[in-house]
Amino acid sequence: MAKTERLAGRLVQKVPLFFGFKPVEMKAFLDICKLSTSAKGEVLCENNTSSNRLFILLDGSLDILGPGETVLATVTPITTVGEMGFISRKPRSATVQTHNASRLLKVDYHEFEALMERYVDLRAKVYRNMVRILSDKLVDANDRVIHYRKLYESGAAPQQRETEDMEVALEEQPVPSEKGPEKRSEEDEETRLEESLQLFYELAKVEGDEAQKTADRESYLDLRKNGYTDADIEYAIKWAVRNIPSIKRFSLVRLSIDEAFENKWDL
C-alpha cells in the first residue's frame, strides 16, 4: 500500500502526463497497470503498429529505434513511453526495445478509456497534459532547428555535434535506480512531517502553540491516511499560503487540498 502511494507520488511529481492527478485518480490509474519485467533486447512495440498500450519505465532503460534500427534515443526512469500514439490513436512512430533488463508498468488503451469514463476530470487533465508535452516538444524542435542552422552557417560538422549533444543529454538523465522505490523508516517519516509543518509555519509566518501543533500533526496524519504523499502535502502547503489570504492554521491546508490539486496546472 505505502509502496503504491510512493510510486503514485513519484509519477505525479515527475511524469508530465500525470501532472494534476489527484491521489485517488493516480491510485485508480495504478490499479489498471500491469507490472512486468522485460529482458535485454525485448521489443515492446514496433514502428507503424497500433498504439494500444502505454508503458511506464520504472527501472532499466529503453532504446527508441528509428529506420534501420538506428538508436534515436535511450530513455531512463521514470518516464512514459508511447503516450503520443496512445492518446492520439495514431500508429507507432518508432520501435521501442529494452536496452537492458527493465521493469515496466503497462496500460491497455481500453482500460484507460474506461478509467477516464469513471473519473470525469481525468480526460481533461490527460489532454491538457498532452498539449503541454507536445508544446514542449515543439519548442525543443524549434530550438534544435535554430541550433543546427547556426552550426551550418558556422561551417561545423552537424553529425559530430549531434552525437556530442546526445551524449550530454544522456549524461543529464537521472541514473536508473537499482533498488527501486526507497522504503522510509518511521523516524524518516516523522522527520518529514516535522519539516513540512515547519515549512507551513515559516511560510504562513505563524507560531503555533503546543495544542495547535498537536492538532496540526493530526491533520497531517489524516492527509497521509487519505493517500497524500509528503510531496503532495508540501505542494498543498505552498498553494494554500499563496492562495488563501491570511492563512494561520494548517487545518486549512487539509480542507483546501483538493482545490490545490485542481489548480496545480495553473501555477
Partner 1 sequence: MANLILIVENDQDFRQMLQEIVEGIGFTAVTVDRATEALKIIKDQIISLILLDIKMPKVHGDDFLRFIRKQGKRIPVVVISGYLTPEVLEVLRENGVSQVIVKPFKVQRVAQAVIQVMEGA
Tell which residue, 41, 172, 34, has the closest CA to residue 111.
Answer: 34
Of the two residues 61 and 256, which places its CB atom closer to partner 1 in the complex?
Answer: 256
Asked if residues 226 and 260 have their Cβ atoms less than 8 Å apart, the reply is no
Which residue of 61, 95, 98, 256 would you call a contact of partner 1, by CB under 8 A? Answer: 256
251 forms part of the interface with partner 1 (CB under 8 A):
yes
Backbone CA torsion sign across 75, 77, 79, 80: positive
Of the two residues 93 and 226, which places its CB atom closer to partner 1 in the complex?
Answer: 226
Of the two residues 89 and 242, which places its CB atom closer to partner 1 in the complex?
Answer: 242
Q: Retrieve residue 188's grid coordinates.
A: 524518516
Q: Minimum distance between the CB of residue 63 and partner 1, rounded to whole angstroms? A: 46
Which residue of 243, 261, 266, 267 would you call a contact of partner 1, by CB under 8 A? Answer: 243
Distance CA 267, CA 265 (A): 6
Q: Retrieve residue 7's grid coordinates.
A: 510510486
Tell which residue, 14, 12, 23, has the closest CA to residue 225.
Answer: 23
Asked if residues 12 and 19 have their Cβ atoms less than 8 Å apart, the reply is yes
Where does this chain touch partner 1 (CB under 8 A) — which range of 81-89, 110-118, 151-159, 243-251? 243-251
Where does this chain touch partner 1 (CB under 8 A) — which range of 119-127, 154-162, 179-187, 238-246? 238-246
Enumerate binding residues for partner 1 (CB under 8 A): 243-249, 251-252, 255-256, 259
